[in-house]
Amino acid sequence: MTKLSVNINKVATLRNARGGNNPDVIRVAQDCERFGAQGITVHPRPDERHIRYQDVMDLQKVVTTEFNIEGSPNGRFLELVKKIKPTQVTLVPDAEDVLTSDTGWDTIKYEAFLTEIIAELKSYGMRTSIFINPAKDLITGAAKVGADRIEFYTGPYAEQYSKDREQAIEAYVECAKLANGLGLGINAGHDLDLTNLHYLKHQIPALKEVSIGHALICDALYYGLENTIQMYLRELQ
Which residues does the annotation mark as catalytic? 43, 70, 190
Contact of 71 with 97, CB cutoff 8 Å: no
Q: Which residue(s) pair with 151 in the sheet?
A: 131, 187
Contacts of 81 (CB under 8 A, 6+ apart): 69, 71, 89, 121, 126
Q: Which residue(s) pair with 189 in the sheet?
A: 153, 211
207: left (phi over 0), alpha (psi -120 to 50) or beta: beta
Closest-CA residue to 196 (of 158, 163, 159, 168): 158
Q: If DSSP states are collapsed to H, E and C, what string results for 7-75? A: ECHHHHHHHHHHCCCCCCHHHHHHHHHHCCCCEEEECCCCCCCCCCHHHHHHHHCCCCCEEEEEECCCH
DSSP structure class, residue 209: E
Provide φ and ψ at 189, rounded to 5°: -175, 150
Q: Please state, as a whole number, how many other Cβ atoms lie within 10 Å of the Cβ of residue 196.
A: 22
Q: Which residue(s) pair with 186 in the sheet?
A: 150, 207
